[in-house]
Chain A
Amino acid sequence: MKTDSPFLELAGDAPRVRVWFDGQPLDLPAGANLAAALLAAGVQVFRHTPVSGAPRAPFCMMGACFECLVEVGGRVQQACMLDVEEGMRIARPHEAEADHAEL
């Protein structure tokens, strides 16, 4: 995924680690806030709402609004409440299943 993001990343000395978002490899600073790191890496749509399908991205960045939900390790979680870890496989929630037969 190309890093064409409106967000500037602060210079840091954290090593980059490989994660996958929606199947695409990304190299993000280890230990960084996942929502911030994904935004800086150019991810603009974190998920689609289950009712209307409208695109969503982080809003509050402090765990309150639940807009930044992503699926990590089979669980739907708030990206702004997670740190970047090596090998994370991140998916848009509820989009893996063709007919939503399972959550």
Chain B
Amino acid sequence: MEADYAVIGGGVVGLSVAWGLLRRGKRVTVLDGDDGSFRASRGNFGLVWVQSKGMKQPRYASWSQQSAAAWAGFAAELEDGTGRSVGLQQNGGYDLHFSEETLYATVAQYDALKDKLGGNYPYEVLGRNALSREEPHIGPKVAGAILHHQDGHANPLRLLVSLADDVRRLGGTVLNGKTVTGVSKPDAFKVQCSDGTTVTAAKVVLSAGLGAMELGPKLGFKAPVRPQRGQVLITEKLPKLINRPSLIARQVDEGGIQIGATNEEVGLDDSVTQPGLSGLAAEAIAAYPALARAQLVRSWGALRILSPDGLPIYQESPEMPGAYLVTCHSGITLAAAHALFLPDWLEGTAAAPDLEVFSEDRFPVS
């Protein structure tokens, strides 16, 4: 047998899991897609984010918190291994509001969630004046913000490159340009690719993002994931303008400001649209008026991977035991949990995190 694990999907989710397994001494082969694949790992917004997650399922909130808390150590270990920073900043983040009504409606929801989390939900409400002290460039249309101290952001492209490098450094194999066509389990798992490549492994992790729509059912999963498009804009590199990230805009470690993001149900279409981009620009200028003079250098669309309730799916296949579905919308936020905690679940150790609420049992039989 070539590997203890074959990981199908070489994005941030698959590579995080692979990295975590490798540092426990497992032999891992990662099968990565090609240039035609939809790659959320190369188009996302880079937030390491806690607030607003799991409003209806506190375990999702706490799982995100566990990952956010582990991120600094994860980033430091990656930096040691690769000599490259992933640009992690965890100084809190904002939910910006243009009306007090929506601000306090959200605060009420956070209060309820905070109770369910035993009080571990450190946020504060900043009115206009307090917010202006923290963010001198905030615009007059912003009514206030919720500052959550467990939020932050990273450079997702550097994370992807660092993970790919470190997986190889740790002895893992990454096969690029592979399209997996099927998985059989005569004895061990046998993963077949369209170019004739086969990989045999004792276990299989399916972390192929939207690729799970087609591959999931072949491995016995429901895999009810769908694409949701997000368009984003990038400005020229600018002097410091934004201190903390929000869902509207963040200034990355290299100086550019990333403006995001639309939420569009348009199927497997990752193109940008003029109304989408101009809507984003208008909202960003309402939040930070100085952005009206910034030059835009790039825009793109990417596809989120969403389950029906927006929560991750962690499921062992009932038809093919030893095959696991790992998929989520927030692969950057959960990267540390996937690297550091998920291997215990895959290995079935006593330290395995409780991921029961993320099983496919919550979905009706299709």
A interface with B by C-beta (< 8 Å): 49-51, 66, 69, 74-77, 93-94, 100, 102-103
Contacts and interface: CB of A to CB of B under 8 A. Distances in A.
A75 B297 CA distance: 13
Interface residues on B, range: 10 to 19
A75 B295 contact: yes
A55 to B, nearest CB: 14
A63 B290 CA distance: 24
Contacts of A49: 237, 255
A66 B238 contact: no
Interface in B240-260: 240-241, 253-255
11 contacts: A51-B253, A51-B254, A66-B237, A74-B293, A93-B236, A100-B239, A100-B241, A102-B293, A103-B239, A103-B241, A103-B294
Contacts of B297: 66
Given A49-B255, A50-B255, A51-B255, A94 B238 contact: yes
Nearest to A93: B236
Interface of B: 236-241, 253-255, 290-291, 293-295, 297
B239 A50 contact: yes
Given A50-B255, A103-B290, A76 B239 contact: no
Specify the main secondary structure of chain B where it touches its partner. loop
Contacts of B240: 50, 100
Contacts of B239: 50, 94, 100, 103
A51 B237 CA distance: 8
Contacts of B237: 49-51, 66
A75 B255 contact: no
B97 to A, nearest CB: 24
Nearest to B290: A103
A103 B254 contact: no
Given A102-B290, A103-B290, A50 B295 contact: no
B293 A75 contact: yes
Contacts of A76: 236, 294-295
A103 B293 contact: yes
Given A94-B239, A100-B240, A103-B293, 17 more contacts: A50-B238, A50-B255, A66-B236, A69-B236, A69-B295, A74-B293, A75-B293, A75-B295, A76-B236, A76-B295, A77-B295, A94-B238, A100-B241, A102-B293, A103-B238, A103-B290, A103-B294
